[in-house]
Amino acid sequence: MVSIPAVIKKLIDEQNLIVVGSVGKKKICNVSPRIFIQVTKDSIYWLDFFKHKSYRNFKENPFVAVSVFDKENLIGYQLKGDVSFVSNKKEKSEIKDGIIRRTSELYKSAYVKNLKEKKDPEVIKFNPKIIYSLNPEEFSDLSVASEADITQLFSRKK
């Protein structure tokens, strides 16, 4: 398991936005932004209120990419790994309530208020397996962190 570096956790907390990329069995990719999020040492949680394209893709193919970026300073990271659905009722409720509380403090819009009051979201858990820099000055083909031996990830079999 890959721990999420403090610099990435801080960036997610500051930006309060991640973008999730997924692909389903029909091989059609989908990208969706998320603001109902929480970051821990080794996981990112988000709420799925709508259960549309991304949700179906998660069920068909749990391997996804998550990006976070600061557009003003041109820094960012891409994390690739697996998603799962939090099913334990107590854990799901605690995570959901914490995410909704934090997001409600950050965003006062009627849209956010309506979502939290009218929908029962799924709680998605993402565990990164590999992390890349998106910073233009850095060599982004090499990972920042990986659960695999990085020297083997890009080697070609002869």
pLDDT tens digits along 43-98: 999 999 999 999 999 999 999 999 999 999 989 999 999 999 999 999 999 999 99
Here the tokens at position 90 are 């107590």
- Residue keyed to tokens 């976070």: 68
Extended strands (E) in the chain? 18-23, 29-34, 37-39, 44-48, 63-70, 75-85, 122-133, 143-146
Q: Is the pLDDT of residue 139 over 80?
A: no
Question: How many domains does the chain contain in total?
Answer: 1
CATH number at residue 74: 2.30.110.10
- With respect to residue 1, please indicate whether it lies within any of the assigned structural domains: no
Mean pLDDT in the chain?
89
pLDDT tens digits along 92-115: 999 999 999 999 999 988 888 887
Domain that holds residue 71: 6-153
Is the whole model's pTM more than 0.85, yes or no?
yes
**Residue-level pLDDT at 158:** 38
- Quote the DSSP letter at residue 62: -
